[in-house]
C-alpha cells in the first residue's frame, strides 16, 4: 500500500505547478485527491487521472468554499497551495495589489481551514499543509514586498493553528520553497521582457545553479501529509536549493 493509503486530500491550485505535482504524488501514494483550481481548461484535462477528482474552486470566493465544504466529507489532508507572486517594492504595491495578495495568499487559507477544520476534528485529525515561500519570514527577496509579507503571514498562520490544535490530532506545517520551475514562473520571466535574461537571473539566485522541480516540493508535501510526519507540527520547512544558506 502507498504511504497515503486510506487518506483523502483536498488541494487548492492543483491544476498546474506544485499543486498538480502534489495531486499526482498524493494519488500515486494511494490517496483519493480532490484537485481544485479556477482554470477550467486545465481541470478538464485532469479528468481520468487515477485517484484524482478535478473540481472548480475559487479560493477567493467565500460562498464557494462554504458550499464545497458542505458537499464533500472532511479530508484527512488539506493542502492550501494557491498563491500569487506580485513583483515590486512597497512603493510599487498599491492598495489593490495589497488587497489581492492578502486575499489570495492569506485570507483564502484562513477560510479554507475554517471551513474544513471542524470536520477534520470530528474525524479524529489530519494534516494541513500551507504553501509559504523562502521569501517570507525566512529571507527577503528583492522586489517581493507584498509576496514576502503575505508568505510570512502564512508561516504565522501555520504556527498559530498548529499550536491551538496540537492536542486534537491536527498537524499544520508550511512549505517554504526557493525558485521552482512552474508555468507561472515562466509567465513571470516573459513579463520581465527579456525571457532569457530573466531566466538566467532566476537561476543565478539559486546556489545549485538550477531551479527546483515541482516534484521535489511534492515529495515534501507527501511526507508532511503522511503518518511518517506524525511528530511534526508548527514547522515551516525550507526546500530552496541552498538559497537561504548563502
Catalytic positions, written as ranges? 147
Residue (of 183, 84, 74, 52) closest to 118 by Cα position: 74
Per the CB < 8 A criterion, the answer to whether 86 and 146 are in contact is: yes
Residues 111-140 contacting ligand NAD, CB under 6 A: 131, 133
Express the helix, strand and coil content of the chain in percent, nearest 5 each.
50, 15, 35
13, 46, 174, 224: which one binds ligand NAD (CB under 6 A): 13
CB of 48 to ligand NAD, least distance (A): 18
Cα–Cα distance, 101 to 82 (Å, whole number)? 11
Query: What residues does 23 pair with on adjacent strands?
Result: none
User: Does the footprint of ligand NAD cover residue 182 (CB under 6 A)?
Assistant: yes
In order, the DSSP letters of 91-126 are: GG--HHHHHHHHIIIIIHHHHHHHHHHHHHHHTT-E
User: Does the footprint of ligand NAD cover residue 170 (CB under 6 A)?
Assistant: no
76, 149, 158, 179: which one binds ligand NAD (CB under 6 A): 179
- Span from 2-10, 51-59, 67-75, 164-172 in contact with ligand NAD (CB under 6 A): 51-59
CB of 231 to ligand NAD, least distance (A): 25
- List residues binding ligand NAD (CB under 6 A): 12-13, 15-19, 37-39, 42, 57-60, 81-83, 85, 104, 131, 133, 177, 179-180, 182-185, 214
Amino acid at each position: 500500500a502507498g504511504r497515503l493509503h486510506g487518506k483523502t486530500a483536498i488541494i487548492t491550485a492543483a491544476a498546474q505547478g506544485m499543486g498538480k505535482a502534489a495531486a499526482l504524488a498524493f494519488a500515486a501514494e494511494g490517496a483519493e485527491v480532490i484537485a481544485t483550481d479556477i482554470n477550467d481548461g486545465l481541470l478538464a484535462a485532469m479528468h481520468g487521472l487515477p485517484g484524482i477528482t478535478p473540481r472548480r474552486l475559487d479560493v477567493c470566493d467565500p460562498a464557494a468554499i462554504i458550499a464545497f465544504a458542505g458537499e464533500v466529507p472532511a479530508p484527512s489532508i488539506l493542502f492550501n497551495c494557491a498563491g500569487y507572486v506580485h513583483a515590486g517594492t512597497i512603493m510599487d504595491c498599491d492598495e489593490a495589489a495589497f488587497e489581492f495578495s492578502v486575499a489570495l495568499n492569506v485570507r483564502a487559507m484562513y477560510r479554507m481551514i475554517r471551513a474544513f477544520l471542524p470536520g477534520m476534528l470530528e474525524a479524529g485529525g489530519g494534516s494541513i499543509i500551507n504553501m509559504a515561500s523562502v521569501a517570507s519570514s525566512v529571507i527577503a527577496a528583492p522586489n517581493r514586498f507584498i509576496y514576502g509579507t503575505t508568505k510570512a503571514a502564512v508561516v504565522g498562520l501555520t504556527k498559530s493553528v498548529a499550536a491551538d490544535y496540537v492536542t486534537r490530532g491536527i498537524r499544520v506545517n508550511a512549505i517554504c520553497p526557493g525558485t521552482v520551475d512552474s508555468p507561472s514562473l515562466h509567465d513571470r520571466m516573459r513579463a520581465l521582457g527579456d525571457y532569457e535574461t530573466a531566466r538566467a537571473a532566476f537561476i543565478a539566485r539559486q546556489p545549485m545553479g538550477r531551479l527546483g522541480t515541482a516534484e521535489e516540493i511534492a515529495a515534501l508535501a507527501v511526507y508532511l501529509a503522511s503518518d511518517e510526519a506524525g511528530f511534526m507540527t508548527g514547522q515551516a520547512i525550507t526546500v530552496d536549493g541552498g538559497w537561504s544558506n548563502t
